[in-house]
């Protein structure tokens, strides 16, 4: 029997002060691995801290929805329409610098910023896409960070199958 677990879940358990710290550490290692090793740039944690500072300089006590609008609706960060699966778009330092990313990197960045700002931003895997989940007005919503922060209301009365059928139609026209 293996002790400590391996892979991503094991990394989270061994990552330091908890799951969020382990998650950030894992993404930092990916970013460091994808970096060219020649150019100088701030660490991923420093880049995220600086971005959180930009947000709080403009927004006083921002909500999850305020940060969504600031990042994506206002166009500060955008999805890359071509070759979004290229490895450079998984490097969060590069994503923060270029302000362009794929669905996974943009949602992970949103999650890590939410953690720094004491907000509830979580990931939501969807086949062929990755979304964030935030509360707006006490109700859960899905956020498509890749498509300018579009939101989808998750109504408790809505059947999951109908929600995801509509979501799939809008994500993959």
Q: How far apart are CA 130 and CA 14, in angstroms?
A: 25
Instruction: Please state whether the predicted TM-score (pTM) of the whole model is above 0.85.
Output: no
Distances (CA, A) of 40 to 32, 35, 94, 127: 12, 10, 11, 36
Task: Give me the residue spans of the domains in the chain.
Answer: 7-171
Which positions ≥6 away from 96 have C-beta within 8 Å?
Answer: 44, 47, 48, 51, 109
| 113-147 tens-digit pLDDT | 999 999 999 999 888 889 999 999 999 999 999 99
Tens of pLDDT, residue by residue, the chain (173 residues): 333 444 444 433 444 457 889 989 999 999 989 888 888 888 999 999 999 999 999 999 999 999 999 999 999 999 998 887 788 889 999 999 999 999 999 999 999 999 999 999 999 988 888 999 999 999 999 999 999 999 988 865 455 545 555 555 555 54
Assign domain 7-171 to a CATH class. Answer: alpha beta
């Amino acid at each position: 029997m293996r002790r400590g677990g391996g892979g991503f879940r094991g990394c989270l358990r061994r990552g330091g002060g908890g799951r969020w710290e382990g998650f950030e550490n894992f993404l930092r290692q990916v970013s460091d691995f994808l970096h060219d090793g020649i150019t100088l740039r701030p660490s991923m944690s420093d880049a995220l801290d600086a971005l959180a500072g930009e947000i709080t300089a403009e927004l006083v006590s921002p909500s999850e929805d305020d940060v969504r609008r600031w990042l994506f609706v206002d166009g500060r960060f955008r999805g890359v329409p071509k070759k979004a699966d290229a490895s450079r778009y998984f490097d969060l330092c590069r994503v923060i610098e270029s302000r362009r990313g794929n669905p996974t990197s943009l949602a992970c960045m949103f999650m890590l910023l939410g953690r720094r700002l004491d907000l509830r931003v979580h990931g939501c895997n969807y086949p062929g896409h990755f979304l964030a989940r935030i509360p707006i007005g006490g109700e859960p919503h899905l956020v498509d960070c890749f498509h300018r922060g579009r939101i989808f209301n998750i109504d408790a009365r809505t059947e999951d199958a109908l929600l995801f059928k509509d979501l799939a139609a809008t994500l993959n026209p």
